[in-house]
Amino acid sequence: MRTELRDPVVVATLSGDLDAATSAALERMGLDRASRPVRLVIVLDELDILDSSGLGLLYRMWRRITGEGGRCAFVCTDKVVLRILEIAGMLETLSVWSDVPDAVDHVTAAPDT
């Protein structure tokens, strides 16, 4: 995982596998528990594997951040990962964008936009 600060937004690019083993490690890092309110963009385009544990982690992070008044968005153009999100019904729930600048704009915008 790589992180980049685009003040006040943290952009985290996940790569490799997001499965049971790596989800636990990523959750312990506490990206969703950083300074308040959290403004987080998670880039999914470099993932090789995304299983149900990874999906669960993404949803829990999104729910925790938005539930505490923060903003969270995802960036994904990878057709396989998008299909997994679609099958899981998460495209309708999560805020998924096709590029980082649009996602950053979304998480820094007023909550009603």
What would the pLDDT profile of 13-59 be if each residue is shown by its tens digit?
999 999 998 888 887 777 666 666 789 999 999 999 999 999 999 99
The alpha carbon dihedral of 75, 81, 82, 88 has a sign of: negative
* Residue in the structure block whose two tokens are 């790589």: 2
* CA dist., res. 63 & res. 70, Å (int): 10
> pTM for this one?
0.90
Query: How do 2-6 and 9-18 pair as beta strands?
Result: antiparallel
Beta carbons of 60 and 67 less than 8 angstroms apart: no
Please list the residues that pair with 96 across neighbouring strands. Answer: 74
The alpha carbon dihedral of 58, 88, 101, 70 has a sign of: negative
